[in-house]
Structure 1
Amino acid sequence: MRIFLKFILAFLLIYFFLSSLPKDYTPRVSQMDIEVRKLISAFGIQERDLITSMKKSFQRGNRKFLYLGRQYRIHPDFPGNEFDCEIKKLVKTHKFRLQKEKGKNFIRYNILAGNTVVYTLSLKPTKKVYLAVVIDDWGYTPNLIPFLEEIKFPLNIAILPELDYSRTVNIMALNAGHEILLHLPLEPLSGEKMEERLEKVTIRKDMTSEEVREVLRRFLNGLQGVKGVNNHMGSLVSKDEDKLREIFRVLKKRRMYYLDSKVIPDSVASKVAKEVGIRCFQRDVFIDNKDDEEYIKNQIRKGIKMARKKGYSIIIGHAKYHTLRVIKEMVPEIIEYTIPVKLSGLELYESPGH
C-alpha cells in the first residue's frame, strides 16, 4: 500500500512540475494556420476573399499564445456541412477544441487551447450581385465573332450601324443569347484628327430634330432585336439636352433603354431620360483604356468589387482581342462572384429614368 501511495505521490509531483514549466502554443497555432488555409483553398476560398485578419501574441501565466483571426467572403452556395466535417478533423488532429457559432450573416469557428481561443475563422456569405458586361464597337471586323460563342454568359453587344459586319455580328450575337444594343455615333467635342475618326453617319449638334429622328430610326431598323442604345463617342451631344430629348423620345416609343457611357462627367443624359420617362443606365468602369491584359483583369476585378458593394455594376470594354480573351479567361471568376446579366434584366431603378 505504501509503495502504491509513493507511486501516486511521485506521479503528482511530476505532473505539477511539468505543468509549471513554460508552455508555448505558438508553433502549433502557426502550423494549424497553414493547414486551415490549405483547407479553405480546397473549398474555393482564395486570399482575395479575405475581408479582415488579426494576429497577436499574449501570455497567461507561464503559457504563451498566438491568436490568429481571419474573416472571408464565401459564395451563397458554399458547402457548409462538408466544410464542418473537414475542419473538425483538422482541429482534432492538432489536439485543440472547436466551437461553432452561426448567425444570420456569418459562420464563426473558434479554435481553443484548453479554454483559450487561439484561432477564429469567420465566413461571411455574400449576397447575390449582378454584373453587366458591355462590349462596344462591333461591326468593323469578323475576326472576333468566335468569342460570342466562347464566352459562356450573357454579354451586352453594342453594334455600330451600317458597317460591313454589323448584321453578321447582330445575328451571331442573338444566336449566342446575348443582348443587342445600337452603338449610336454621336458628335464629340472637337479635337485633333477627331473628324477623321467619326463614323460615316454621326448624329451632330447642328442636325435638325427631324434629321436626328430619321437617322436614329434608320439605324434601329437596320438591326434585329435591339433592346437599348448607348453612345459611341458623343462628348458634345451628351451635353445637349435638345438632341438627347429627340433621341429618347424615339427610344420611349420603342420601349428601349439608354446606357450613358459617361465619356464626360457633366453628361445630362440621366436628367433628360428622367424627364422623357425612359430607363437610363450609367457606366461604372471602362475596362480597357489600356490594351494590356493585366490592366484589363484589374479593371474587371474593380467592377466586381463595385458590384459587391452596391449590388450591381456596369463595365464597358471594346471589341478587341485582348479584351475578349481576358473576359473568356475570367469567366469562372466572374460567375463565382457575380451573376452576369443583360441590361434589360437589370432592375436598378424603381421607376423609369430614375
Structure 2
Amino acid sequence: MKKGKRMVKCIKMYFYPAAVFILALCAAIPPAFGAGLPQTAHHSGGDKAAAVLLAEPAAPNGGRSSRVQSAENSAKRSRVAIIIDDLGNGMKGTDEMFALPVKFTVAVMPFLPTSVKDATRAHELGLDVLVHLPMEPRQGKPEWLGPGAVLTRMSDAEVRKSVEAALDNVPFAIGINNHMGSKVTGDERVMGIVLAVCKERGLFFVDSHTNYRSVAGRMAQEIGLPPVENHIFLDDVHTSAHVVKQMRLVQEKALNQNYCVTIGHVGIHGKETAAGIRSGIAVLKDSVEFVGISELVKDQWKWNSRVTLP
C-alpha cells in the first residue's frame, strides 16, 4: 500500500511540471500557416497572392518586401529601343507611329514644315527626341539630304555651325542620329566636331550604321560619350511582312546581348512600317521591354544626359 502511494506521488511530481511545460509550448506556437488569410485569396489571382504571403514574411513599417519585389521581377527583361526616322515633313505613317502602344524614340529632321510640331508632340507623349541630322553619303542624290546637311567639304566652323543650328531648330532633343551620312561617319575630322558639340551640350550620338567602317562609336568612347549604334533596319524592304520578320531578328538580338537598337521610317511606306512594328510588338511584348533610347543609354552605359542649351 505504501509502495502504491509512493508511485502516485512520483507520478504527480514529474507529470504536472511536464504537462505545464507542454501547455506553455503549445501557446507559443503560431497558428497554422494560412489560417488568417483573407477569403479573397481563393478568387482569381488569389492562389498567387497566397503563395507570396506564405513564402514571404511581411516587410517592416508596412513596406513591400524586397524579396517579393525580386520574385515578381525574377529576371530583368532584355530591352529594345525603336527609333523612327525622318519625321519633320508630315510624311505618311506619322500618326500611325505616334499611336504605337509602347515607348519609342522620334528622330526629327531639322528645318522642315513639321519639325517643331513633331518634336513637341513626341515630347508631350513622353517620347525621346533626336535630331535626325542630314549628313553626306558616299552615294545618293543631294536632294535626299534635306536642308542643313553636314558635308565633308565644309570647314570646321561650317560643320559646327550646321550642327548647332539643327539642334537649335528641333526642341527637346537629347541626342543626334545621322540621316544617310555614310561619308561623314567615316570622316574623323567632321565626326570629331559633331561629337564635340554633342559633349558640350550634354547629348549623345546614335550611329545609324549606314557605314560599316564608321568611326563614330570609337571616337565617341574616346571623349567619354556612349558608343550607341543601330543594330537592325526594320524596313530595308518596304512591306509590313518584312518588318515583322525583322522584329523577330530584333527579339533574337535583344535576348542574346540584353538589348537591341532598331530603326524604322516614316515616308512613302511609313504606314506599312508602322503596321509591321505594331504586329511585331504583339509578338515580342512578353519577352522584351520597349524603352526610349535615353533609358537604354542610361542603363547600358551609365550615361546621365544633362542637356545644356547655349
TM-score past 0.5 threshold: yes
Where in structure 2 are the equivalents of 1:247-286 lying within 5 Å?
247-286=194-233
> What CA distance in whole angstroms lies between the structure 2 residues aligned with 1:253 and 1:264?
25
Query: Aligned to 1:235, what secondary structure does the other structure show?
Result: coil
1:245 and 1:276 in contact (8 A); partners too = no
The structure that is strand-richer by fraction is 1
> What CA distance in whole angstroms lies between the structure 2 residues aligned with 1:283 and 1:256?
17
Give the superposition deviation at 1:127. 4.6
2:138 and 2:183 in contact (8 A); partners too = yes
CA RMSD of aligned residues (A): 2.2
Give the superposition deviation at 1:271. 1.2
Of 295, 298, 301, 1:349 maps to 301
Of 222, 227, 231, 2:169 maps to 222
> What CA distance in whole angstroms lies between the structure 2 residues aligned with 1:274 and 1:249?
12
User: TM-score with structure 1 length normalisation?
Assistant: 0.61
**Which residue in 1 is equivalent to 2:186?**
239
Question: Is residue 135 from structure 1 mapped to residue 84 from structure 2 by the alignment?
Answer: yes
**Which residue in 2 is equivalent to 1:328?**
278
Q: 1:288 to 1:190 in 2, by over 3 A?
A: closer
Of 260, 263, 269, 1:313 maps to 260
Mark the runs of 5 or more structure 1 residues left unpaired by the alignment.
1-78, 83-124
> What CA distance in whole angstroms lies between the structure 1 residues aligned with 2:139 and 2:241?
32
Give the superposition deviation at 1:280. 2.4
Give the superposition deviation at 1:278. 1.4
2:110 and 2:147 in contact (8 A); partners too = no
> What CA distance in whole angstroms lies between the structure 2 residues aligned with 1:280 and 1:229?
12
> What CA distance in whole angstroms lies between the structure 2 residues aligned with 1:149 and 1:138?
11
Of 227, 247, 250, 1:303 maps to 250
Q: Which of the pair has more CA radius of gyration?
A: 2
Of 176, 184, 190, 2:139 maps to 190
> What CA distance in whole angstroms lies between the structure 2 residues aligned with 1:350 and 1:179?
17
> What CA distance in whole angstroms lies between the structure 1 residues aligned with 2:238 and 2:254?
23
Query: Aligned to 1:336, what secondary structure does the other structure show?
Result: coil
Give the superposition deviation at 1:126. 6.3
Query: Aligned to 2:286, what secondary structure does the other structure show?
Result: helix
Query: Aligned to 2:94, what secondary structure does the other structure show?
Result: coil
Give the superposition deviation at 1:184. 0.5
Mark the runs of 5 or more structure 2 residues left unpaired by the alignment.
1-44, 49-73, 305-310
> What CA distance in whole angstroms lies between the structure 2 residues aligned with 1:126 and 1:297?
26
CA deviation string 1:86-119 (max 9, x = no partner): xxxxxxxxxxxxxxxxxxxxxxxxxxxxxxxxxx
Displacement over 4 Å in runs of 4+: none
1:128 and 1:311 in contact (8 A); partners too = yes
1:148 and 1:173 in contact (8 A); partners too = no
Give the superposition deviation at 1:139. 1.4
User: TM-score with structure 2 length normalisation?
Assistant: 0.70
> What CA distance in whole angstroms lies between the structure 2 residues aligned with 1:148 and 1:174?
14
Q: 1:189 to 1:339 in 2, by over 3 A?
A: same
Q: Amino acid of the residue matched to residue 289 of structure 2?
A: I
CA deviation string 1:225-278 (max 9, x = no partner): 111100000111111111111011111011111110111111000111112221
Q: 1:244 to 1:187 in 2, by over 3 A?
A: same
Q: 1:338 to 1:291 in 2, by over 3 A?
A: same
**Which residue in 2 is equivalent to 1:41?**
none
2:131 and 2:175 in contact (8 A); partners too = yes
